[in-house]
Structure 1
Amino acid sequence: MQQTWQTQGAQEAQQVQEAQLQTAVRPVSPHAPAPPHAPGGIRRWPKSFADRLTAPLPGLRAFARFAREGALRPRPDGLADIQRLPYDPGPLPRVDAGTVAVTWAGHASWVLRVGGLTVLTDPVWSRKILGTPARVTPVGVAWSALPRVDAVVISHNHYDHLDAPTLRRLPRDTPVFVPAGLGRWFTRRRFSRVTELDWWEGAELGGVRFDFVPAHHWSKRSLLDTCRTLWGGWLLTDARGQRVYFAGDTGYGHWFERIGARYPGIDLALLPIGAYDPRWWLSDVHCDPEEAVRAAIDLGARRMAPMHWGTFLLSAEPVLEPLTRVRTAWEKAGLDREDLWDLPVGASRVLAA
């Protein structure tokens, strides 16, 4: 149900914003004014994006070793600090079109307020996802507390980033920005405003630019669809040039320097720091905390907010270790402590203009 506004002025403001959003999803290019493709719609893509992999996927020997070692979840001593995981939900900050605000709902799910829009990243409001124990911290933002969602960005199709039960809660005319090849998943579920993008492509909605950029990761949702859809991160830039980078899920590598060079002046980088142990198994696709700090430096980002930890138990490191290690790495790098936004789940920060 649409939110009921209490004043005539608020009703008029909502009508103006809706009119702006309905104008079009305008494709743009970082380097050329001419649009690179038609807005929205489902495009033709290769049958596989395996040629985009930074490193080969694990083979049978790696799976056999993983099965022998059984290092899938933290040991009991690593689970002892679950009750100490930071959780501090609060009201969403008030914003205007010139304000950038971020709220961590948990894992890779953020409520971004950019250019007057409310944007959800990889929204997972479910208590449990396929193949993973139930979340160890509740969602930091109640679904009922969200303002109208103006857009959703999806980084890739893994279950902890693409959650069907959560997406079913959205109106089907919600604009959705997705990686190449993933559009049909949404149109089959009757989403009507789906924009598929390749790496380095962008589109514009309501004065905010959405650019899709590379990541060191992969995609798979069933037994037969490995790397059939693309994966990546998103840069959101408002009309004033304020820029937020959402990395999605990624290992460390050369893409960060290239992203930083192509999109200078990143004000805030939302970077994953968890799900990294054992390293021999996960280093190609998940940053550890030290690598995430290096990535922020490579990007030239002014600030970093850690994510992808303390919500789902996806690997073997102790539950609080990502936080302590990222703080230590930040300090060792000589970076200003105020620029590490190590938020509790549910907390918000506002980016000063």
Structure 2
Amino acid sequence: MHASVTFIGNATTLLRLGNFTLLTDPAFGPAGSRVHLGYGAWTKRVRDPILDALAGTAVDGILLSHLHGDHFDAAARRWVEPTLPILTTPSACRRLRRRRHLAVRGLPAWECFEWTRDRQRLRVTAAPGRHGPGLADRLLPEVMGSVVELEVDGRLALRVYITGDTLMHDALEQVPRRFGEVDAMLIHLGGTRLLGMLLTMDDRQGADLTSLIRPGLTVPIHYDDYQVMKSPLSDFVTRAEQQGLTGITPIVRGGTLPLPLRDGFGSRHAEQRAMPQVNSMPRVEPDR
């Protein structure tokens, strides 16, 4: 059995987990395209996603942390079929249903959704998120993290925590309390700032969350694709090293990283490899 993450760009990843494949936060617009962040605010993409890594891949569903343009842009909306399952927040669910996405499911915090195939079960549990500081959070989209668990014959093979666009807050302490050991974490960083407000974790908050969760493997994503991101990956890596945190493993854009399956299911040693390039991905037009 195999489990891996492929980094497409920003918060877009392809998770191959045993018999299941999930896509996270699809944003397919090229460098130079603009996305809407609400209240008349826009930002420009500065790095291209590696869409060839998606070529020929069928996905079972999408994990969508929230409805901001850098997580579900116009290019991705054109690509996603209306019948493809999407797991997201209740508020995003209501908006997507109005856009005729027929299989969207809104998950309040700690509610779960499962797929079952052969002897395997994939469970996704919504985790709480907070996109802005204090009262400003009420003006921003509702966000969620995801705890993804792969079971085989009723035994846990892998647990992955995807933070979503959250800041550090007290409710995140419930993640290790409820779930225990986390094998891998995809952490949304970037120190996104809008009107001077911090909207995603910077290096300090990212290190604090990594210290709280203590995953076996920490994979940074969402840190340099858009102009509003102000905290570089190098700051997080340096701070994590200074705090003695282990397992910090950046992944190259377009690359694939094996995820550490638990004993009895496969090797826990992750080695990064390049994703083969296939040129059959549909052409994506820039957002207008």
Could you state the TM-score of these two structures normalised by the residue count of structure 2? Answer: 0.77
Tell whether the 8 Å contact from 2:143 to 2:166 is kept in structure 1 after alignment. no
Q: Which residue among 106, 112, 115 is the counterpart of 1:205?
A: 115
* Aligned twin of 2:2: 99
Q: Distance in 2 between matches of 1:332 and 1:241?
A: 31
Instruction: Output aligned runs, 1:101-120, within 5 Å.
Output: 101-120=4-23
Q: Distance in 2 between matches of 1:260 and 1:144?
A: 32
Q: Secondary structure at the match of 1:305?
A: strand
Q: Distance in 1 between matches of 2:70 and 2:54?
A: 21
Structure 1, unpaired ranges of 5+: 1-97, 219-224
Q: Distance in 2 between matches of 1:324 and 1:194?
A: 36
* Aligned twin of 1:308: 222
Tell whether the 8 Å contact from 1:217 to 1:232 is kept in structure 2 after alignment. no
Q: Report how many aligned residue pairs link the two structures.
A: 240
* Aligned twin of 1:161: 71
* 1:153-206 deviation per Cα after TM superposition (whole angstroms, max 9, x unaligned): 111112111223303212222111110122232223322222111011111013
Q: Distance in 2 between matches of 1:291 and 1:303?
A: 17
Structure 2, unpaired ranges of 5+: 37-41, 133-137, 262-288
Q: Which residue among 145, 150, 161 is the counterpart of 1:245?
A: 161
**Alignment of 1:346 onto 2:245:** no
Q: Which has the higher helix share?
A: 1
* Aligned twin of 2:145: 233
Q: Distance in 2 between matches of 1:148 and 1:115?
A: 14
* 1:103-131 deviation per Cα after TM superposition (whole angstroms, max 9, x unaligned): 11111111111232111111001122232
Tell whether the 8 Å contact from 2:89 to 2:108 is kept in structure 1 after alignment. yes
Q: Distance in 1 between matches of 2:160 and 2:130?
A: 19
Instruction: Output aligned runs, 1:21-100, within 5 Å.
Output: 98-100=1-3
Q: Secondary structure at the match of 1:256?
A: helix
Q: Which residue among 254, 261, 267 is the counterpart of 2:183?
A: 267
Structure 1 segments, 4+ long, off by >4 Å, are none
Q: Per the alignment, do residues 146 and 334 of structure 1 end up closer, same or farther by CA in structure 2, a change over 3 Å counting?
A: farther
Q: Distance in 2 between matches of 1:276 and 1:161?
A: 13
Q: Distance in 2 between matches of 1:166 and 1:212?
A: 22
Give the C-alpha shift of residue 348 in structure 1. Answer: 1.3
Q: Distance in 2 between matches of 1:248 and 1:146?
A: 26
Give the C-alpha shift of residue 276 in structure 1. Answer: 4.1
Instruction: Output aligned runs, 1:321-336, within 5 Å.
Output: 322-336=232-246
Give the C-alpha shift of residue 307 in structure 1. Answer: 1.2
Q: Which residue among 283, 290, 302 is the counterpart of 2:204?
A: 290
**Alignment of 1:281 onto 2:196:** yes
**Alignment of 1:191 onto 2:105:** no
What amino acid sits opposite 1:238 in the alignment?
L
Tell whether the 8 Å contact from 2:29 to 2:48 is kept in structure 1 after alignment. no
Give the C-alpha shift of residue 144 in structure 1. Answer: 5.4
Tell whether the 8 Å contact from 2:114 to 2:122 is kept in structure 1 after alignment. yes
Q: Per the alignment, do residues 277 and 186 of structure 1 end up closer, same or farther by CA in structure 2, a change over 3 Å counting?
A: closer
Q: Per the alignment, do residues 264 and 141 of structure 1 end up closer, same or farther by CA in structure 2, a change over 3 Å counting?
A: farther
* Aligned twin of 1:40: none
Tell whether the 8 Å contact from 1:140 to 1:347 is kept in structure 2 after alignment. no
Q: Which has the higher strand share?
A: 2
Tell whether the 8 Å contact from 1:264 to 1:300 is kept in structure 2 after alignment. no
Q: Distance in 2 between matches of 1:146 and 1:297?
A: 38
